């Protein structure tokens, strides 16, 4: 379907942190899209927004709670009205909080599911409604090792990530024939972040051997998914360092 909207296309990254989410936003902005990034606090996005703008890229930051339907509806409506049509949607909220099943609380278990799964549904649904009317678009959900198997101490996270993967599978089967490419990316390994550097120094030391994931390289794979021809779309992509065991 031809694009009759003269405004720039938008890449909406829900959960744009300082590492992976920021790298994804930068890659899509360099590809010519306006990067619209969300966190619960817009102030935390300001350094990233200014960094992208300093490169001459289009970038916007929005405060939005991905778990709240009214926030999500307002966010998508605002972006579509004020910035441009959403061509790419990336759901990148983590919620990786380990806890023994013996100590896990119902409140925290539910909160992790809200962040990692319900947020994906709410944001994905609203964006899909726009993309289907245009007959095009890319939707990418960030998964993890926990999307495939539940490890000791990660019952809540694994449950939420399994559910997110199932959501993506259902959306891909429904929306693919309508021109919308839905993909799920399993990021299996430590990522080059301040959290890993500070809390897992031995793992971080593997960086010099390409033993942890570079956020920019993750982002390049997301861009590849977006630019795939529709006769050869990928649904699920596994990303892991060469040193990581399966």
2 falls within a domain:
no
243 falls within a domain:
no
Q: How far apart are CA 184 and CA 186, in angstroms?
A: 7
Task: Phi first, then psi: give them for residue 130, nearest 5 degrees.
Answer: -75, -45
245 falls within a domain:
no
3 falls within a domain:
no
174 falls within a domain:
yes
207 falls within a domain:
yes
Cβ distance 196 to 227 under 8 Å? no
- Predicted local distance difference test score (pLDDT) of residue 14: 97
Q: What is the pTM of this model?
A: 0.94
CATH code of the domain containing 15: 3.40.50.720
Q: Strands, E, within 166-220: which ranges?
A: 181-187
Count of domains for the chain:
1
5 falls within a domain:
no
244 falls within a domain:
no
Q: Which domain holds residue 147?
A: 10-237
Tens place of pLDDT for every residue, the chain, 246 residues?
Answer: 445 567 889 999 999 887 899 999 999 999 999 999 999 888 899 999 999 999 999 999 999 999 999 999 999 999 999 999 999 999 999 888 889 999 999 999 999 999 999 999 999 999 999 999 999 999 999 999 999 999 999 999 999 999 999 999 999 999 999 999 999 999 988 888 888 888 888 888 999 899 999 999 999 999 999 999 999 999 999 999 998 877
- Predicted local distance difference test score (pLDDT) of residue 3: 54
């Amino acid at each position: 379907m031809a694009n009759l909207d003269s405004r720039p296309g938008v890449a909406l990254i829900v959960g744009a942190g300082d590492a992976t989410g920021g790298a994804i936003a930068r890659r899509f902005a360099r590809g010519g899209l306006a990067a619209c990034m969300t966190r619960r606090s817009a102030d935390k996005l300001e350094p990233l927004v200014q960094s992208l703008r300093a490169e001459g890229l289009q970038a916007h930051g929005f405060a939005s709670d991905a778990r709240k339907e009214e926030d999500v509806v307002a966010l998508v409506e605002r972006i579509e009205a004020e910035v441009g049509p959403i061509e790419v949607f990336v759901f990148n909220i983590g919620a990786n909080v380990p806890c023994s099943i013996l100590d896990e609380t119902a409140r925290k278990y539910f909160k992790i599911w809200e962040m990692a799964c319900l947020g994906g549904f709410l944001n994905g649904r609203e964006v899909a409604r726009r993309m289907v009317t245009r007959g095009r678009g890319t939707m990418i959900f960030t998964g993890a090792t926990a999307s495939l198997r539940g490890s000791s101490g990660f019952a809540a996270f694994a449950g939420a990530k399994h559910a997110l993967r199932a959501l993506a599978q259902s959306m891909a089967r429904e929306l693919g024939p309508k021109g919308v490419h839905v993909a799920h990316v399993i990021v299996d390994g430590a990522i080059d972040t301040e959290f890993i550097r500070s809390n897992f120094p031995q793992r971080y030391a593997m960086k010099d051997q390409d033993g942890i994931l570079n956020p920019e390289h993750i982002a390049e794979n997301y861009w590849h998914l977006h630019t795939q021809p529709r006769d050869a779309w990928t649904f699920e992509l596994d990303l892991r360092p060469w040193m990581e065991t399966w």
